[in-house]
Amino acid sequence: MTLLNPDADEHSAELARARRRRNRALLTLFGGIVAALVLFEGFFVLRDSQAPKLVVALFAMIWGGGGMAILYLVANQLVEFTSSQWQRRLTPIVFVFPAIAFVVYFLALPAVRTFIASLFDRDGTNFVGLANYITVFTEPFMLVTFRNNVLWIVFGASFTIVFGLLVAALADRSKFENLAKAIIFMPMAISLVGAGVIWKFIYAVRDPADVQIGLLNAIVVALGGEPQAWIAMLQPWNNLFLIVIVVWMQTGYAMVLFSAAIKSVPTDIIEAARVDGAGEFKIFFSIIIPSIMGTVVTVSATVIIFTLKIFDVVLVMTGGQYGTDVIATQFYNQYFVNRNFGLGSAIAIILLLTVVPVMVYNLRQFNKREAL
Beta carbons within 10 angstroms of residue 347's beta carbon: 28
Partners of 127 in the beta sheet?
120
With a pLDDT cut of 70, the percent of the chain lying above it is 97
**The pLDDT of residue 371:** 61
CA distance 266 to 283: 12
Q: Where are the alpha helices (DSSP H) in the chain?
A: 6-48, 53-80, 84-103, 109-118, 131-138, 140-151, 158-171, 177-185, 192-203, 215-222, 238-263, 267-275, 280-283, 289-291, 293-308, 312-317, 327-332, 341-371
- Write the CA distances from 6 to 10, 146, 182, 215, 309, integer angstroms: 6, 81, 76, 95, 73
3-class SS at 339? coil
pLDDT confidence bin for 132, thresholds 50/70/90: very high
Is the overall model pTM greater than 0.85, yes or no? no
Residues in the chain, total:
372
The string of pLDDT tens digits covering residues 52-90 is: 888 888 888 888 888 888 888 888 888 888 888 888 888
CA distance 253 to 239: 22
CA distance 133 to 135: 5
**The pLDDT of residue 244:** 93
Which amino acid does the sequence have at 287? I
Sign of the CA dihedral running 215, 220, 221, 226:
negative
The string of pLDDT tens digits covering residues 137-167 is: 999 999 999 999 999 999 999 999 999 999 9
The string of pLDDT tens digits covering residues 162-215 is: 999 999 988 888 888 888 889 989 988 888 888 888 998 899 988 888 888 889
**The pLDDT of residue 117:** 94
* pLDDT of 323 above 70: yes
